[in-house]
Structure 1
Amino acid sequence: MKNRPSAKKKHPKIGLLVVVSVLAAVIVAGGVGIYALGMSWIGDLTEYDVSNTDNLNTSLPSEAWDSTKTVQLAKFQLDNREPVELNQISQYVLDGTVATEDERFYEHGGFDLAGIARALVVNITGSGREGASTITQQFVRNTILSDEMDEISIKRKVREMYLSVKLEEVYSKDEILRMYLNTINYGNATYGIQAASQRYFSKDATDLTLAEAAALVGIPQSPSYNNPLVDGGKNCIERRNLVLDRMLSNGYITQEEHDAAQQAPLEVNETIPTNDGILAYPYFTSYMRQELKEELGMSEAEILKGGFTIVTTLDVTAQEAAEQAARDKAAQANGTAGLDNVFESAMAAVDPETGHIKALVGGRDYSESQVNLATGTGGAGRQSGSSFKTFTLVAAIKAGIDPQTLINCSATAKFPGWSVENINKTEYGTRSIARAFAVSSNTGFARLCLSLGPDAVASTAKEMGIHSDLSSTGSITLGVDAVTPLEMAEAYATLASGGVHHNTTPVLQVYNRDDELVVDNTTTEGERVLEPEVAHAALKVMEGVVQSSEGTGTDAALANGQVVAGKTGTSDDYKDSWFCGVTPQMSVAFWLGDRRDYFGDNSCESIPPSVTVASAFASFMNVVLEGQPAVDFANAANPPYKAYTDAKYGIGGTAGSSGEDTSKDSDKKDKDTDSNSANGTNNGSNSGGTNGSNTPGGPSGGGTDKPDPAPTPDPEPTPDPEPTPDPEPEPTPDPEPTPDPTTPSAASFSLPTIWSRTLQMLAA
């Protein structure tokens, strides 16, 4: 095999003199005017810095990785492209490219006068058609002058020649050959020899056989015509054999090698790249890509061409555990109901101290639906049911109300225009707010919400991390508004961090193509929205949901004894089931339901009441915390409570004081059946559908899209008659934010025939 020649010492000034000599020849042939025109063509290039690789317009894919940078999640690219070093390319490719495209590559200084003369003879005599562009000129055309690629003119050719000489002043021949092979078009949106090798033969470029290498070398001359996937590769084989002929004539291969390669069949082993570039955990990865644009301001072009390395916040162990827990819970619900793949589970897990998203499950199968149930991307949120009562609890503690304050939790509570019931019309009597929270009393928390004012609950939820629109009626505490698991995990994380809110992010770090750190979210700056004592007091109450014998979330208890604070939630008719829980290490929100209800399909199924979502939380956290010691939440003093009485809503006194807790120890919860029930005249149904909009004078949400009829008075007295409250004023809604608004002609000459053909050859 022929040894590759070493690059000769460059003489850049001689190269530029040659360009000037060519222009001088043009003077003789066409006059001084044409010379002046030629000089004007390169005027904007005289200061062009070819040493700056950014100027070479080489598109590079962006890659995304997990938090440890060991698992690749995506490769985002405008086209299929994977740059490699010269030693990662088969010698057959290097030799074949030089022999076919530019046999004097190691001898000329950027353009080849001998090649031009040879091509001139071929084109003028009509014995064929041959181009005169060197490898360096082709690289310039494909990168620096890519906008002029389709322009057929002497101007473009002169500009190519000028930049080719400048390029060879800076880079060695091998560097230019490497850049050329990494950027040339091999058809089917595939650029570069490595990508082409994988695309057509499913192997690395260094492993190509002689026949395979020759086939690929032949493609760039006409990527669509020489495509190995077209017409059984007939044209590709013809071009491959021509490449082999030139490799033989230039001494790169022996006759025996030549003959064997020409007789070899074209055996394509195609690997089709994914269209979206996502390689793993598609719900998380697609959301991360969206956040790069919306939160970090990166354009789609930057992501596809910028060559960024994105290190995400994803914890692979947590993600695998989350997906398994979600699959198991959905399978349990489907099996219990005797249904086939109707129910799905979604979840989000967040680091409370940073807002880093550690795991995210958006549904059962990304290939079936790209609507992300964990983030609402492409769809909407879901009613959170009683898991929203946490924000009423926090609002009460913020207002100085002791969780031991007594509240009327009768089976039914009536208010102007609407009424609410406890699950199964359970009579909870008068009990502390903490115990009302543990059993998830709807009537008690409706009264507490109205006493505080629904706006106080809504503002607390917003401060803690809820971003969705919220209603301003008493039913807000029953979770009638559409929210997402990611929002709920973010808001609950504010409690676990002692009252400091962190915006969630899936992006840890971003490096540019030069490996410079341009985004760093390793540490995040949170905002204190709650006093530490308020957060601590709320967590202590929430622990009762898991630890208390009457709590609705006892299935969330963890194997290592790790303290858990949380809240269950179920919407009307069991269309949605939730558990939102926190430990000092993680904030998690799990949802279970029928995806069809996201799109207003009233035929969606109800979840079997016996299926507890709290156990999915436990399954997930037992894996995440395996081998770790149990730790407690940060301690804090009690808030400065004040005596609070509101006779209108049956609130006042404290358990163990002059007040009386009339609830009985035998009042046990119906495990995970804390369905909210706020209605007009019918039980278990709210007006307003799934989007949380309100009807005049009443609450919204629940398990129906049909509005309730006007309420009628109940002739039966309630256990705790109450005076009719003044109607809550309807606040003026905040205005909706205004969304952000989302080549030269060829030169022509009229000259004698020989002159015309010469110009045509030069312009080719």
Structure 2
Amino acid sequence: MSAQESRRSGVLGAILGMLGFSGLAGLLVAIMVTPAIAVTGMTANNAVGIFNELPEYATLGDDLAQKVTLYGTQGGQPVPFATIFETNREEVGWDEISQYAKDAAVYGEDARFFEHGGVDMQSIMRALASNVRSGEVESGGSTITMQVIRNINIEAANQLEDPEARKAAYTEAVEPSMDRKLKEMKLAIGLEKRYDKQTILLAYLNIANFGGTTYGIQAAAQRYFGVNATDLTPAQAASLIAIVQYPASRSLESPDNYERNKIRRDYILGQMLKYKSIDQAQYDEAIATPIEPTLTPLNNGCMAASIAPYFCDYVVKTLLNDPAFGETADDRRQAFRKGYDVYTTLDIGAQATAEATMRQWVPSYDDRFQLGSSTVGVQPGTGRIIYMTQNTSFNDTAAGGGPGTSAVNYSTDYDRGGSRGFQPGSIYKIFTLGQWLKDGHGLNEVVTGKPQTWRQSTFTRCGSPMGGADWKPKNDSSSPTNTNVVNATATSNNNAFVDMAQELDICDIRDTAASLGMHTATGEKDGSDMMTVLASVIGGSDDTFAPLTIANAFASISARGLTCTPTGIDRVTTPNGEELKVPNPNCRQTLDPEIADAMIYAMKRTLMGGGTAVASRPYNSVPIFGKTGSTDAYNQTWVATATTSIAGVTWVGNVQGTQAMSRTYINGMAGSRLRHAVQRQLNTQWQTFWGGNDWPEPNRSFLTGNNAPVPDLTGQSVDSARELIESLGFNFEDGGPIASSLDAGLIAQTDPGAGASVPRGTTITVYTSDGSLKATMPDVVGQQTDEALNTLIAEGFSASRVSYSFVEGPPGQVCRVKSSDPAAGAGTTKDAAITLTVISDADGEDPGCP
């Protein structure tokens, strides 16, 4: 077919098509105003059939896709730090739009908008003439109301979850067809019956596409000119309205479109002058204005967040996953599309400090292994997440961002960031400590820290003896044979905690951990499954936890046992100002406050001299406690600290693999020290930011614990003494012989002494008699005092232990011994005190006996 024949065919098709369309349009108007219609011809009959199947009206709802804006707090004021949208739109009210924009829309798109009832026959006929000239069906005479209907259908298509259904619905909404045009006409007329003109025009300005992902007059004004819609000039307003017919070719996103935009803009300005929306001077000024948009970056998504991209991602996943924001996943997605203002718990200043500190100490990439690090802080008593950052840069694109980037949030659980968590190491010992106190034990009780082989059958799990191979854990620090629980905590002595666990039930330790919010990062194990192997009492199981979970446990202890579910959201409002109910932190008392006080008392020692966390101690004196953790292979290292104001945890380790951090140097520092470098710097800043108070001193009962009196073992044999001591939960030690009046080999005394109240586990040292002080009191009655003293000395008694008392007696017996104490023949000791009663003169005074 020749080009000329093709042209004729196109023109003919356009004429016939528009004639048919005009007929249908006339029919449509007739149907709306005439009770009965006489229609002849197949086309008309078909049109009536289609028409009768259409709905009567469309609804202008509040379900347009809008931005989600996240706010943090700085200086007590909310500050936006991230926006997330699939459609860059911000709905505004009638009074928030420049009159120039309203007039540009009406006079540029639909000059008889305020006169017709939704369908403008003059526009349809004008479109017919235009299509005849072009040889194509290029224009359908759509009114503003019909364009609103089309955009409503586009919005509905965009909301569909299934990609194929979404594509099909979008195609149906935009592709030229008689059915679509007829539907738009009928629904436009119905819309005009239901809403006033102002409401329809406002809907048009809020729903229209202005190029790319920018929808609505407010977002367009900000995107292209950096102003609000209420401040648009005539030139700016006309330039924006010029986009809506052909967004792809007239958008101000690209200079390639400027000339096409200007041609349409100038036409709209001419219409505004024609209908006296602007005067000649305003028209001349606007026409002379060059097309020079000032593009404002869209900054869409958490990758573009000004700060805290991983926290941003955590909040977004909460909005899309938490049932508080919709019963089903689709409900939550649809609600998210409609836009939120989300006021988060993030402290902008604290976050900036955490990010800078992380960058200073932990590199984003190490070519030897996959290095990871996270630091996160939680407010005690509320569960509010104050800061959250890690060593990598956030990148959630399909292609990824290469080395040093990650879409995985190391701080959170799998369903909030994709991390499977990390082994906790010795940091888990705090829950063994908590259960020790719950079972009535004390911090001053003595346990053994000596490395040894432990038989699993001597331990209890859920009320029954455990089974399995013997286990011999090692200690990282020196291993005193005996130590109290406070020192064991400060030095993180493995065997001491195993010794403690032998007096507990492994399941009870697990339950104490769960009560303080501990749960595995993957959610694959519930509270009944996790941490029930013997090694778990010192953190040596395969179970993994998120840093946020551990930080929250320390926040719970700091709040004296008040445990809250971590939350990143304080408040959420919808675009229409409705405030939503946010996830409840569910704060509840899960631990006796006095037990928490005792745990804190012990964990304060970890930041003192000799403690494992001393390198994280801040450069000031606000009360603080903490605990370190590392796995056997040192592939994961932790430190957690808390004041009454903030609880924070820093993890540095292997995202995967077993690189030993203790033997790996990073920027000149052992990798196992990096956690302390980060946490110490943060602790110093936090104590300056927020300060903190001290906790109550622990109740004495939690210091002494299960105390018992030392039994009186005097005169018992060594074997019977040992049996009794060990049966009472004490440790036995033979201190050897001492001078005593008891028969040689019998218990003469103990240390601590009989009757002393001491913790079980204390070592009782027994001393046996050597028999050296055993003696019989000689008979010195009737002897002169000097003679009696010499007799006693000769028998081994000490002259310094002899004293005298005087009684009246016969004059001839002066200075003779009348009686002795002990009495003659009585058993006594050679170091005993002896009193001699001596006869004096009549007045009973000392007569000066020799």
- TM-score w.r.t. structure 1 length? 0.71
Per the alignment, residue 186 of structure 1 pairs with 210
- TM-aligned CA deviation for residue 82 of structure 1: 2.3
Which residue of 319, 322, 334 corresponds with 1:292? Answer: 319
Deviations 1:316-353 (A, max 9, x none): 3332333344334437x99xxx9999866422222221
1:378 paired with 2:418, answer yes
- TM-aligned CA deviation for residue 452 of structure 1: 2.9
- TM-aligned CA deviation for residue 143 of structure 1: 1.6
Q: Kindly report which structure 2 residues correspond to 1:611-630, keeping only aligned pairs within 5 A, or say none.
A: 611=673, 613-614=675-676, 616-626=678-688, 630=692
Structure 2 unaligned regions, length at least 5: 1-26, 158-171, 396-404, 456-468, 709-723, 733-751, 765-850
Per the alignment, residue 706 of structure 2 pairs with 642
- TM-aligned CA deviation for residue 166 of structure 1: 4.5
1:598 paired with 2:655, answer yes
- CA distance in 2 between counterparts of 1:266 and 1:658 reads 87
- CA distance in 2 between counterparts of 1:621 and 1:185 reads 49
Deviations 1:676-701 (A, max 9, x none): xxxxxxxxxxxxxxxxxxxxxxxxxx
- Greater mean alpha carbon deviation, residues 530-539 or residues 61-70: 61-70
- CA distance in 1 between counterparts of 2:321 and 2:193 reads 42
Whether the 8 Å CA contact 1:283–1:366 is kept in 2: the answer is yes
Q: Which amino acid aligns with 1:361?
A: T
Whether the 8 Å CA contact 2:607–2:616 is kept in 1: the answer is yes
- CA distance in 2 between counterparts of 1:493 and 1:651 reads 36
- CA distance in 2 between counterparts of 1:439 and 1:283 reads 34
**SS where residue 456 of structure 1 aligns?**
helix
Q: Which amino acid aligns with 1:294?
A: N
- TM-aligned CA deviation for residue 184 of structure 1: 0.6
Deviations 1:78-121 (A, max 9, x none): 21212334555455543332232111123323332332343345
Q: Which amino acid aligns with 1:293?
A: L
Q: Which amino acid aligns with 1:358?
A: I
- CA distance in 2 between counterparts of 1:343 and 1:209 reads 54
Deviations 1:263-299 (A, max 9, x none): 7654455444234256331111111111223333544
Per the alignment, residue 56 of structure 2 pairs with 45
Change (3 A) 1:70 1:80: same
Whether the 8 Å CA contact 1:327–1:345 is kept in 2: the answer is no
Whether the 8 Å CA contact 1:23–1:35 is kept in 2: the answer is no
Change (3 A) 1:266 1:516: closer
Change (3 A) 1:195 1:659: closer
User: What number of residue pairs does the alignment pair up?
Assistant: 631
Which residue of 471, 483, 495 corresponds with 2:557? Answer: 495
Whether the 8 Å CA contact 2:206–2:215 is kept in 1: the answer is yes
- TM-aligned CA deviation for residue 520 of structure 1: 4.1
**SS where residue 383 of structure 1 aligns?**
coil
1:346 paired with 2:407, answer no
Per the alignment, residue 245 of structure 2 pairs with 221
Which residue of 66, 72, 77 corresponds with 2:72? Answer: 66
- TM-aligned CA deviation for residue 539 of structure 1: 1.8
Q: Kindly report which structure 2 residues correspond to 1:470-489, keeping only aligned pairs within 5 A, or say none.
A: 470-480=530-540, 481-489=543-551
Whether the 8 Å CA contact 2:211–2:253 is kept in 1: the answer is no
Q: Which amino acid aligns with 1:374?
A: S
Change (3 A) 1:339 1:273: same
- CA distance in 1 between counterparts of 2:357 and 2:412 reads 18
**SS where residue 489 of structure 2 aligns?**
helix
Per the alignment, residue 281 of structure 1 pairs with 308
Per the alignment, residue 388 of structure 2 pairs with 360
Q: Which amino acid aligns with 1:642?
A: N
**SS where residue 619 of structure 1 aligns?**
helix
Q: Which amino acid aligns with 1:381?
A: G
Q: Which amino acid aligns with 1:315?
A: D
Structure 1 unaligned regions, length at least 5: 1-15, 663-764
Change (3 A) 1:181 1:617: same
Whether the 8 Å CA contact 1:78–1:304 is kept in 2: the answer is no
- CA distance in 1 between counterparts of 2:230 and 2:502 reads 72
Richer in strand (by share): 2
- Greater mean alpha carbon deviation, residues 68-77 or residues 182-191: 68-77
Which residue of 588, 594, 611 corresponds with 1:551? Answer: 611
How much is the aligned-residue C-alpha RMSD, in angstroms? Answer: 4.2
Q: Which amino acid aligns with 1:366?
A: F
Per the alignment, residue 462 of structure 2 pairs with none
- TM-aligned CA deviation for residue 397 of structure 1: 1.6
Deviations 1:507-563 (A, max 9, x none): 222223332222145x7433433233322222221122224x332223444566332
Q: Kindly report which structure 2 residues correspond to 1:316-335, keeping only aligned pairs within 5 A, or say none.
A: 316-330=348-362
Whether the 8 Å CA contact 1:568–1:614 is kept in 2: the answer is no
Change (3 A) 1:647 1:269: farther
- CA distance in 1 between counterparts of 2:693 and 2:604 reads 14
Which residue of 391, 404, 410 corresponds with 2:450? Answer: 410
- CA distance in 2 between counterparts of 1:646 and 1:305 reads 72
Per the alignment, residue 101 of structure 1 pairs with 109
Whether the 8 Å CA contact 1:511–1:517 is kept in 2: the answer is yes
Change (3 A) 1:302 1:39: closer
Which residue of 114, 127, 139 corresponds with 1:119? Answer: 127
Q: Kindly report which structure 2 residues correspond to 1:547-586, keeping only aligned pairs within 5 A, or say none.
A: 547=608, 549-558=609-618, 561-572=621-632, 574-586=634-646
- CA distance in 2 between counterparts of 1:125 and 1:63 reads 48
Whether the 8 Å CA contact 1:27–1:34 is kept in 2: the answer is no
Change (3 A) 1:615 1:100: same
Per the alignment, residue 142 of structure 2 pairs with 133
Deviations 1:150-195 (A, max 9, x none): 3655554454344434444565434432321221112212211232
- TM-aligned CA deviation for residue 360 of structure 1: 1.6
- TM-aligned CA deviation for residue 431 of structure 1: 0.6
- CA distance in 2 between counterparts of 1:651 and 1:448 reads 14
Whether the 8 Å CA contact 1:555–1:614 is kept in 2: the answer is yes
- TM-aligned CA deviation for residue 135 of structure 1: 0.8
Ranked by relative contact order (alpha carbons within 8 Å, sequence separation 6 or more), the top structure is: 1
- CA distance in 1 between counterparts of 2:725 and 2:512 reads 21
Change (3 A) 1:127 1:614: closer
- TM-aligned CA deviation for residue 408 of structure 1: 1.4
Q: Which amino acid aligns with 2:301?
A: D
1:421 paired with 2:474, answer yes
Change (3 A) 1:550 1:162: same
- Greater mean alpha carbon deviation, residues 112-121 or residues 179-188: 112-121
Whether the 8 Å CA contact 2:634–2:659 is kept in 1: the answer is no
- TM-aligned CA deviation for residue 24 of structure 1: 6.4
- CA distance in 2 between counterparts of 1:378 and 1:615 reads 27
Whether the 8 Å CA contact 2:369–2:659 is kept in 1: the answer is no
1:509 paired with 2:521, answer no
Q: Kindly report which structure 2 residues correspond to 1:231-250, keeping only aligned pairs within 5 A, or say none.
A: 232-233=256-257, 235-244=260-269, 246-247=271-272, 250=275
Deviations 1:53-73 (A, max 9, x none): 33xx42222322225661113
Q: Kindly report which structure 2 residues correspond to 1:667-686, keeping only aligned pairs within 5 A, or say none.
A: none
Whether the 8 Å CA contact 1:284–1:362 is kept in 2: the answer is no
- CA distance in 2 between counterparts of 1:602 and 1:551 reads 25
- Greater mean alpha carbon deviation, residues 198-207 or residues 464-473: 198-207
Identity value in percent: 29
Change (3 A) 1:562 1:341: farther
Q: Which amino acid aligns with 2:87?
A: D
- TM-aligned CA deviation for residue 652 of structure 1: 5.8
Change (3 A) 1:203 1:412: farther
1:528 paired with 2:589, answer yes
Q: Which amino acid aligns with 1:73?
A: F
**SS where residue 443 of structure 1 aligns?**
helix
Change (3 A) 1:646 1:18: farther
Per the alignment, residue 687 of structure 1 pairs with none
- TM-aligned CA deviation for residue 461 of structure 1: 1.8
